[in-house]
Structure 1
Amino acid sequence: MRRYGEAVKPGQIYRPRPGVYAVLLRGDRVLTTHQAEPLPEYQLPGGGIDPGENPIPALHREVFEETGWKLAVIRRLGAYRRFTYMPEYDKWAEKICTIFLARPILRLGPPIEQGHQAIWMSAEEAKEKITNVGDRAFLAHALHGHPR
């Protein structure tokens, strides 16, 4: 599995953290989430899979929490991993990130996860503003293989 982001720190113990994320396309626009803390950043909506939870229900839950949107999953694009410190959990994690192509189908309300804001932007803007290198790579892959 391809790795993106910072190098593994020798001697650091990383705990596995599986997660699911969505590339949400509507025409030439991408639905992103802006997370204010711990560092302000634009992201693909998604997050961790809770213990005992299956990936697709986790994707629906996470996208709703961070954007307020209901989605239709189109297909799995792939997965990557990255090693990072998660200050909100005080945890060093090996994040195993599975990315899905999805379509936003209904806005149910504002994001319910504190500090998140749903932001629509052009695909080109999203490729520049999304902070995570792995997410940007999968966004570019989705845009290349998915007619808008």
Structure 2
Amino acid sequence: MIRRFGTPPETGRRYTLRPGAYAVLMLGNQVLLTHQADPWPEFQLPGGGIDKGESPLHALHREVSEETGWSIAAPRRLGAFRRFTFMPEYDIWAEKLCTIYAARPVRQLRAPSEPGHSAVWMPFDAAVDALGNPGDRHFLSRLD
């Protein structure tokens, strides 16, 4: 059974399954987060949806690059969680199946290419507090 974080699913509402891959990226006591401006300002673990036909690891590398501009190495799976949420950018109610990886940030190749995203290095304790969803907070805090 995969643990659920956040609001439980609403009875009678249809949810679209959205698998995604997300990264915990640390250098020393600093954590690389992405700040998403829209649809509401929020700090997140970098990552996102796995496209049809794409492997989770390919999606992880692509999404981290798009949202932070960084390349990564040596990803290892930490676990997964589910959350139920409205995704206004897709106009869908989604059951997000979030697989979390720890990876090593290698180097910043460019600025983030994902509109409305910026890469932010933050001290570990501040990053745990700043993350916008409880599943991200859970997986980051377990690394303490």
Counterpart in the other structure of 1:126:
127
Give % identity.
59
Structure 1 gaps of 5+ residues are none
| TM-score, length basis structure 1 | 0.95
1:45-124 counterparts in 2 under 5 A?
A: 45-124=46-125
Report the residue type matching 1:133 in the other structure: P
Report the residue type matching 2:46 in the other structure: P
| Cα deviations by residue, 1:22-44 (Å, 9 ceiling, x for unpaired) | 00000000000000000000000
In 1: Cα distance, 2:74 partner to 2:117 partner: 22
Structure 2 gaps of 5+ residues are none
In 1: Cα distance, 2:138 partner to 2:125 partner: 13
| Cα deviations by residue, 1:99-133 (Å, 9 ceiling, x for unpaired) | 00011001101000000000000000000000110
Shift >4 Å, 4+ stretches? none
Counterpart in the other structure of 1:8:
9
Report the residue type matching 1:87 in the other structure: P
In 1: Cα distance, 2:19 partner to 2:137 partner: 18
Report the residue type matching 1:92 in the other structure: W
